[in-house]
Structure 1
């Protein structure tokens, strides 16, 4: 049975996204809206500390992405079902259903890729864009070269045609998903055992949709980024990126890569690990607050 954890003090709603896919959404606070999107292998719950810090000045909207947590998990047989374009439409429609025609948007990991696509596809809706510990899809594939690409071995596994990746992962699902929680939290202090089990249980229940999400990144999402790169598309809103220094290991300049997409960019490195919103929520809440202050929209 899949375990459940919720953000204390937040209301929970089921809200329709694109194509009628229902998203599980936590909502709290008052004021201008900010939407927080989670990464892999997690759910909306990863934002619990940051969300509570922001809700004094914001309406904080925290969904489970389609395919994750308690949101619907449609079949991924159509590559577009888990494209970041479709997932971005989910977020725009959820915010609209909650009464917000525009909002700030902050994403971690997979959620950051959805956020970037929302910023490119819906520039008049996204007031500001925050990115935690990821590169744009096009740049991710470009920098993964040689033996150093082994750090992203799971990207290559889940990019394979449907069938074998799902079977391989399902055969050892708790170990597979748990390995990322452990490897990306080297201190081993970010999660309680209950929280770790919660993330693992929810991921085990979502193998097919998680693989479909990643498979899209190697196909339709990459195609969208290539098209936008060729037409010199830019993120028009203020953008903030906070990241570990992956460039030192893989030999790239993350700030320069992001600057090519985001002219109005503030880039910052952090000493926190990948799960920075849980490891150091004060730093991330301040990052979001500072980013919101750069937006010309205040209501």
Structure 2
């Protein structure tokens, strides 16, 4: 069989620590997760990453892989792999992924797990994308995951599993939701690992989020900015009436305290900042052009002059 370099898949050296391997896996699986990645081979890359981490993320599997992947068992110059004749004696196979290399290495010749040995399953990681409004009110989502499991003959297969996930009110981008027991299955009757879902907000050009603070651009008419006005604004938490102070300039920031992402027991609510943007009416009618011309004559306004110096 062809040898597969799991270290190269994760982009780490063979001397990498467990934490470095875990960090590399989490970074890459976020990048290539099929639900969010634009890459054409995202699904295949995600499967390959899960397979590599399923081995290198487990100390015993990694030790077995390192032993079998070294000379004299690697066939020089051929990229192949030849396990020792007695490698399968006294071992049971364990679940991992469904590539030919993984199956041949671990399902047929054993995987380094002795009979009666129990070990908790590996944790799994995925990304879930939600709308910003879901962080304000909470939401329910249904997600589909591909998970490895052993069939009746001990071969590793992949099946699709559907989970109903509750998005709690007040989640922030980058936060991880833990689903206990929904990760990789354990060995020898041990408990399954956990599934960690990382929150990502769907792109929305109306908003910019920093922690729990939300920034929203709000267009206002020139007379609303100049004279002051009460305007109605649609925010992530609903419509509100906001007072625009007289003589407001474009870029002015109005703070709505506590109107950002809702707080939790451990963190206070964020604020909502409305950034005023002056929207000019078009001069597309004779009347509109006449009004602009009158303003030009009577106001004597030059926006490029510094009012402090006149230059």
Is the structural similarity TM-score above 0.5?
no
Q: TM-score range by the shorter chain?
A: under 0.3
Whose helix proportion is higher, 1 or 2?
1
Greater CA radius of gyration, 1 or 2?
2
Q: TM-score normalised to the size of structure 1?
A: 0.22
Whose strand proportion is higher, 1 or 2?
2
Higher relative contact order (CA 8 A, sep 6+): 1
